[in-house]
Structure 1
């Protein structure tokens, strides 16, 4: 890309100032530094302009302004991308944090959310009706970013990935036009959005299918670290035959005296007695010193991991897909937890199974539809720490898992040095996805997953 000049920035300002007024932020403006902060404080990029949009027309104007001025373009929705792709140095940020409306249609069993909405916003609209859609596990995560790359979560076994519940989306393309992607409107873009990430345009509205689920049986079981081997071995056996209604996460959370082994079950079935029996088997894998499993609203259950997502810390993520938590994988995870580089870091293992695994791999851009585990290596450290030893720890974790890992990994958790692995994650869908990229964004204005460029 050619160097960005003051004249280029002035061109964009002249185009957007009459429309956005004070919502067009420049580096000297009072709210600029706050607006460029994202969840990961390690991201310190300085864009040239931040366009705080309120509707689709303003988003389209910002896309055209960036194109005409030759400025790099990025999109900030929930701001939870750890790698900081929401910001580009010297670029124009389309900030969707003012577009967070969520509207439920209980009779039609759908919900519509704007592109900047978080999971909390979505659930605030659906929970009063006893309705849910598939979400991730953290309420502050943006819905659009989660959905377009996949959307692992506690309801995956029963209702699939978040993207499996997407009914349609409104998208502003790189030429400033707005299209509706869905089975009856641009089905190819709809296919690409479901797994291809934010690489095709700015998603300004999303519509989801809703399901009846007023409560879940869920909670946290914490075991001594010394029992990790037995817990992981038992976990692997139980989840291999688990019904759709039971999705269980495991791994290691920080504790006052070092890492703690955890199991986090979600039972989404109507038969609570069956759920209690399933959780009793998990409880019996060791001697839990914390047992907080009970019936609760789904939105309350998602609060369990909030304490581990703290703004102001530095974050560095790695990820692998495993066919199962085999003895080799379990040993590698336990060894990694024993050598953890920070008292804030976590290892989380999510299960992919059930309804999500019964989708044809070619039906969406998300290709890995065999039952598997996704490992999240989350190195968390204060800004006063140097990154080197935390990076070394995270890299050692995935190196220990590599001998038993599947090709690819969850693109939402991969970083800028993982392009080859990101491409592998799309498997037989890669060529079709690259063709969609050439069709909808031939000049690569949107680069949430850089691997999707020929």
Structure 2
């Protein structure tokens, strides 16, 4: 691709930023620009006008003000793992928080504060020495802030809810350049909106969350051949039907070392170990696995089990459907998807939502899908040299087959920018309140790179 040269507005903005910021400013032609515009999904190829690598909240404030003064659209990058690439807006200014990863733990108060670019591994690494764990997703490399803003399914959902359910306070730089605190007492409507309403309200520079006394858990990656998928998934259904809060079970499939799909079960028991000792017997009853067994493990090791699947630069397309229960029809679709996968790098990940997560009233946070359900993450991944269309088609067909069995809406963190009706359906009775909050804190819709509820937003920067 031919190198583009910064426009007059971009050059002027870059000069203004470089005189005021502690961090760096990159434009086309700078040696680090090409790497700075890349995100996790290798299918995303966008050229922002500038990338601002912020060093602190003050940098974010200056960057927002300069971008508005020069008429540059904004997007925000934390971990860079949004599959749709909304962190990088074509021709816009990227506020890159990836170097803002500091973490501070208050072990007595059982809280943790982290900057907007912190990854799950950063937070867990800081809390683990105190026998504490945050509620995050399932991969250490993924940014906590972006995950939390959309909800945050994870391995502790049954006992401690979603990531959003553990947010105490956030610092936010608004569209007018003001930095504010949002919590239950200060800017409470903004605090409400941040807990599942997405990144449309400002730049979150730090968060303070509850953490929990979790060290050793009962867990294990249990692997079965795909030929046993129906039996394994039915066994999984029997176990989760009466699962206590302490047990959350992730299941699905991914490609094995020889390229053939494997069905996996990843239970996490985070209660008293003696009370969970019969778990191994219940999973053994499903049938003899190829590998793996439930046993005591350090929770930090459990959270790292999928790290190797998150490879920077690998093209990806994702989809999401949620089902109330794993009926025989749903199980057949999942088993069929495993056999029909067009790439050994693709997978399905079925997240277990129950217990504490399901007891939060639907209007307490924007995340309204509070009934027990399974969130099915459809991940088509392939090598950069492959033609991606067949892999994309596989993901879309799996999603379509599940649609007639699915709950309304879908998980916003996995919905594409062209899926506005499903986003609105997910927010349910909270959609109107979100729109009003958006109008209050960002009336000019400066933060529109993330898919929003605004039907007039036709260029979401995807």
TM-score by length of 1: 0.97
Residue in 2 aligned with 1:235?
Answer: 236
Q: Which segment is superposed worse, 134-143 or 4-13? A: 4-13
Equivalent pair of 1:197/1:448 in contact (CA under 8 Å):
no
How far apart in 1 are the matches of 2:449 and 2:363?
Answer: 22
SS at match of 1:328: helix
How far apart in 2 are the matches of 1:448 and 1:198?
Answer: 9
Q: Which segment is superposed worse, 163-172 or 35-44? A: 35-44
Matched, 1:451 2:452: yes
Residue in 2 aligned with 1:413?
Answer: 414
* Deviation per residue, 1:186-205 (Å, 9 max, x gap): 11000000011111000001
Equivalent pair of 2:201/2:438 in contact (CA under 8 Å):
yes
Equivalent pair of 2:98/2:117 in contact (CA under 8 Å):
yes
Q: For 1:155-304, what aligned pairs fall within 5 Å after superposition?
A: 155-255=156-256, 256-270=258-272, 272-304=273-305
Residue in 2 aligned with 1:422?
Answer: 423
CA gap 1:136/1:448 in 2 versus in 1, 3 angstroms: farther
Equivalent pair of 1:115/1:203 in contact (CA under 8 Å):
yes
Deviation of the 1:451 alpha carbon? 3.3
Deviation of the 1:20 alpha carbon? 2.8
* Deviation per residue, 1:8-59 (Å, 9 max, x gap): 2133123211023771111111111111111111111010111111111110
How far apart in 2 are the matches of 1:294 and 1:103?
Answer: 31
Deviation of the 1:5 alpha carbon? 8.1
Residue in 2 aligned with 1:108?
Answer: 109
Residue in 2 aligned with 1:140?
Answer: 141
Which runs of 5 or more structure 2 residues have no equivalent in the other structure? Answer: 456-462
Q: For 1:359-438, what aligned pairs fall within 5 Å after superposition?
A: 359-438=360-439
Deviation of the 1:216 alpha carbon? 1.2
Equivalent pair of 2:252/2:349 in contact (CA under 8 Å):
yes
Which runs of 5 or more structure 1 residues have no equivalent in the other structure? Answer: none
TM-score by length of 2: 0.95
Equivalent pair of 1:74/1:93 in contact (CA under 8 Å):
yes
How far apart in 1 are the matches of 2:454 and 2:328?
Answer: 38
SS at match of 1:124: helix
SS at match of 2:200: coil
SS at match of 1:207: strand
Equivalent pair of 1:223/1:260 in contact (CA under 8 Å):
yes
Equivalent pair of 1:150/1:162 in contact (CA under 8 Å):
yes
How far apart in 2 are the matches of 1:293 and 1:442?
Answer: 51
The number of equivalent residue pairs is 450
Aligned Cα root-mean-square deviation (Å): 1.4
Deviation of the 1:213 alpha carbon? 0.9
How far apart in 1 are the matches of 2:453 and 2:151?
Answer: 16
How far apart in 2 are the matches of 1:254 and 1:6?
Answer: 45
Residue in 2 aligned with 1:59?
Answer: 60
* Deviation per residue, 1:156-182 (Å, 9 max, x gap): 000000010000000000000011000
CA gap 1:5/1:343 in 2 versus in 1, 3 angstroms: closer
Equivalent pair of 1:66/1:92 in contact (CA under 8 Å):
yes
Q: Which segment is superposed worse, 377-386 or 17-26? A: 17-26
Equivalent pair of 1:411/1:449 in contact (CA under 8 Å):
no
* Deviation per residue, 1:94-121 (Å, 9 max, x gap): 0101110001011111100000000011
Deviation of the 1:90 alpha carbon? 0.9
Structure 1 runs (4+) deviating above 3 angstroms are: none
